[in-house]
Amino acid sequence: MTENQINTTKILDKDGFETMYLNMGPQHPSTHGVLRLGLVLDGEVILKAEPDIGYLHRGMEKLAEKRTYQANIAMSDRYDYVCSMNNNFAVALAVEKLLGVEAPKRAQYIRIIMAELNRVVNHMLFFGFFAMDVGATTALMFGFREREPVIELFESVSGARLTYNYFRVGGVSRDLPSDFVEKTKVFIKFMRAKLKDYDTLVTDNVIFRDRTVGIGKISKEDCLAYSLSGPIVRASGIKYDIRKDDTYSLYNEFDFEVPVLQGGDCFDRYMLRMLELRESLKIVEQALEKLEPGEIMAKVPKVIKPPAGEAYVRTESPKGELSLYLVSDGSANPYRLHLRAPAFINLQILQKALAGFKVADVIAILGSIDIVLGEVDR
């Protein structure tokens, strides 16, 4: 935070010349929020990088101890404000585990639809921001444009556009509106058509490939050592998806692929998210088919007081493993709520991945890790 947190003593380059210390962020157009990177540069080449976080620290874990479980779901919207539904999901699952209840089937399907649609939103934004980071401004607008229909779907379901607060302990807060299924099907069709445009505009673009292929390689060993999760690991050749490996909710009923790429560079991380997006659309489609009328809330008491206990509940958020370590002491508020934020842990790799690349690559690598500072700093 303060200046002395990053070691600013002069580091010499290999020829013994003085290096330049570049302070990137916290006010910088493409550090995705208030991330600060201390870069030691030799010309444009990075010798050492040290991320500095905490500018957006809101004390979420402390606040959680003073809020009821219901209010904690509302709070969870703010962890990673791009994919609130996935955060809701994690909290709801964790509390349900402590309570020992399970949501009714319809609610579970609705949750999966929402979580996967939110994955689409997240990856759409990733597409936009990543393309923006390497300089293609138009893709950003396209990403936002295609996000809009999903946001509208969420709005029609939950009544809010960003902080949905839709999941409840034991179900979901509202049933789907009557035209939801129809609209979602239309959206899936629309999205698939748009994806072709994206591929021509960005994926196939020779400049884009030039900027991303071979940049920021993360090896399998690093993935394990740094506890990385989500698309980053899968782009490095490890088939690891909590939805499949440690399945939760009703994900085992769905037929979907876990895309895996071997390169581990920025392009593969980008490509993997694009492939994952298509799988998510597939899951939504299947879930819409399986949707049957029924209850949307399990029987839970009005004031939720789970028995004393603890649970570590893992979910696959679009950014990686979003897990909750929840300790209850039998009162209406959680005793301890620890969030294993995927972006927080994934960001650590930056110290290693950046060395040897250029300033322009910093942005590409940072973008390809896909962080949200709200989740990193909590």
Partner 1 sequence: MDAQQYLTNIKAKFPDVTDAPAEKIKDGIPALLCPAASLFEIVKYLKEEGLNYLLNLCATDYKEYFEVIYHLHSLENKVKLTLKVKLGKEKPEVSSVTPLHAGADWQEREAFDLLGINFPGHPNLKRILLPEDWEGHPLRKDYDRKPDQYD
Partner 2 sequence: MSSQYGLETLWLWLINLIEKFITWLGLPYIFSYTIEKIIFGVALLAFISVSVLYLIWLERKVSAHMQSRLGPMHVGGWRGWAQTIADMVKLLFKEDIIPAKADKWVHRIAPIVVFVPSLMAFLVIPFEKNLLGQDLNAGILLIFAFSSIAVLAIIMGGWASNNKYTLLGGIRSAAQMISYEIPLVLSILSIVMVVGSLKLNDMVAAQSGDGKFWFVFTQPLAFILYLIAATAETNRTPFDIPEAESELVSGYNTEYSGLKYGFYMLSEFTNMLIVSMIAATVFLGGWSAPSWLSMVPGFVILMVKTYFIVFILMWIRWTFPRLRVDRLMDFGWKILIPLAFLNIFIIGLRMVVFKW
Partner 3 sequence: MVNYIKKIIKGAWSLIAGMGVTLKYYFTKPVTVQYPYERREIAPVWRGTLRQLCDVSGTEICDGCQICARICPVQCITMEAYKDPADNKRKTSSYIVDFGRCMFCGLCVESCPKKCLVHTTEYELVSYDRTGMVLGKDKLVRK
Interface ranges with partner 2 (CB under 8 A): 20, 22-23, 28-30, 44, 131-138, 141-142, 145, 201-202, 205, 207-208, 210-211, 358-363
In the list partner 1, partner 2, partner 3, none, the entry touching 310 (Cβ below 5 to 8 angstroms by class) is: partner 1
- Contacting partner 3 (CB under 8 A), which of 165, 184, 212, 229? 165
Distance CA 312, CA 326 (A): 6
Distance CA 160, CA 78 (A): 13
- Contacting partner 1 (CB under 8 A), which of 13, 42, 61, 175? 61
3-state SS class at 22: strand
The per-residue DSSP string of 230-261 comes to THHHHHTT----HHHHT--TTGGG--------
Residue whose CB is less far from partner 1, 97 or 168:
97
Distance CA 2, CA 17 (A): 27
In the list partner 1, partner 3, partner 2, none, the entry touching 74 (Cβ below 5 to 8 angstroms by class) is: partner 3
DSSP 96: H
Interface with partner 1 (CB under 8 A), residue total: 45
Question: Could you say whether residue 243 binds partner 1 (CB under 8 A)?
Answer: no
The per-residue DSSP string of 306-341 comes to PPSEEEEEEEEETTEEEEEEEEE-SSSS-SEEEEE-
Query: Of residues 200-239, which lie at the interface with partner 3 (CB under 8 A)?
Result: 200-202, 204-207
Question: Could you say whether residue 11 binds partner 1 (CB under 8 A)?
Answer: no
Which stretch of DSSP H or E encloses residue 220?
helix 220-225
Residue whose CB is less far from partner 2, 34 or 85:
34
Distance CA 10, CA 30 (A): 26
In the list partner 2, partner 3, partner 1, none, the entry touching 197 (Cβ below 5 to 8 angstroms by class) is: partner 3
Candidate ranges 49-57, 154-162, 274-282, 355-363; the one touching partner 3 (CB under 8 A): 154-162
362 in Cβ contact with 66 (< 8 Å): no
Largest distance between two CA atoms of the chain: 72
Contacting residues toward partner 1, per CB under 8 A:
1-2, 4-5, 53-54, 57, 59, 61-62, 97-98, 100, 222, 224-228, 238, 240, 245-246, 308-314, 321, 323, 325, 327, 335-336, 338, 340, 344-345, 347-348, 352, 377-378
